[in-house]
Amino acid sequence: MARRSIDRLVRLLALPAWVAEHEGASFEEAAAHFGVTAAMIRSDVETLWVSGLPGGMPGDLVDFSADDFEAGRLRLTEPLGLDRPVRLSRQEAVALLLSLRVLGDVLADDPASAAALHGAQAALTAAMRGGARPVAPPAGADDPASGSGTAVLRTVRRAMAERRRLRLTYVSATDTRSVREVDPLELITDGSHLTVRAWCLSARDERSFRLDRILNVELLDATATTHRARRRHGEPRSSRSRTAVLTLAPGGRWLVEQVDAEKIEILPEGAIRAQVRGRDEDWLVGLVLSAGRHIRGVLPRSLALRARGAAQRALALNASVEGS
């Protein structure tokens, strides 16, 4: 529901400017442009008709030609400035450009998205420079086969679109390989990696799988079904997440900047104590291991023991490989 509300707000703000450039366009033409139905465009216009400045007097509201509306066409008579392009301050433009670059890194394995993001970056950069010079396209942006994760992303998206089950060969943060059958739910990102949230049939619960850790993916004929997340005895309905308190050396500040820490305390000599929340204990084990030499302390003790065990197994495996 929230996603649809956001989509409609964006469309309501964009519709007057589009109509100003396409005066007399039909509801069907507008619907095709915005990817919705003609009935939704009609509803949007009716909403805009009662939108505007405080007071609601003539001249205070966005207005369309009633005659054209009855004829199934769109023409603005009072746009209240909504027909003009949005003007960004330099700070807003810089923030938007940085966000586009972050998205570009996350979606580097998706040629279509990478090309669209590059186009937006180029246009924004040119506007900020006064049209001085274009931005060079990212390496491989024109090669639809570039990026080792392209096939994985393409298969996951196809599975979601066709509501089909996937078989994954996956390596976890603790370097554990597993083969799982999952019903994909959504693609999400933390700003650094793409992750597919899915129902795992072997775990009989929701799990998250980073796309860059999927070694192989197979689209199955089985239909993905709807599941209800299971709740452990005595566990609150609202959350399966876990918290941990990490004590970090001063050089570990990067970690609390990457995760959303609930509490941060600066200790003597610049050390950091942070309370972080993870979706489950496996995720927190991976976080502890990623801190490496910067970690000084971990609570609860059960998490520290699991992380130590995983680190010892990894070191033993590395030693056996080097000795072979």
Domain ranges across the chain: 1-78, 90-127, 147-223, 242-322
Q: pLDDT tens digit string along 149-199?
A: 578 888 998 999 899 999 999 987 767 889 999 999 988 876 667 888 899
∠ CA 290-292-297, rounded to 5°: 105
DSSP E strand boundaries for the chain? 25-26, 63-64, 73-74, 76-78, 164-171, 177-189, 194-200, 205-210, 214-223, 242-248, 263-266, 272-278, 295-299
d(CA 3, CA 6): 5
Closest CA to 279 of 206, 188, 176: 206
Beta carbons of 275 and 244 less than 8 angstroms apart: yes
Q: pLDDT tens digit string along 274-316?
A: 998 887 788 888 889 888 888 999 999 999 999 998 888 878 8
Q: pLDDT tens digit string along 62-72?
A: 888 888 888 98
Topology of the domain comprising 147-223: SH3 type barrels. (2.30.30)
Per CATH, domain 242-322 is 3.30.70: yes
Tokens 């060969």 correspond to: 169
DSSP-derived 3-state class of residue 50: coil
Q: Tell which wins on pLDDT, 245 or 130.
A: 245
> Per the confidence metrics, is the pTM higher than 0.95?
no
According to DSSP, the β-strands at 76-78 and 164-171 are unpaired
2-11, 167-176, 233-242, 259-268: lowest mean pLDDT where?
233-242
- Give the up-direction half-sphere exposure of residue 163: CA atoms within 13 A in the CB hemisphere: 4
Q: What is the pLDDT of residue 226?
A: 80
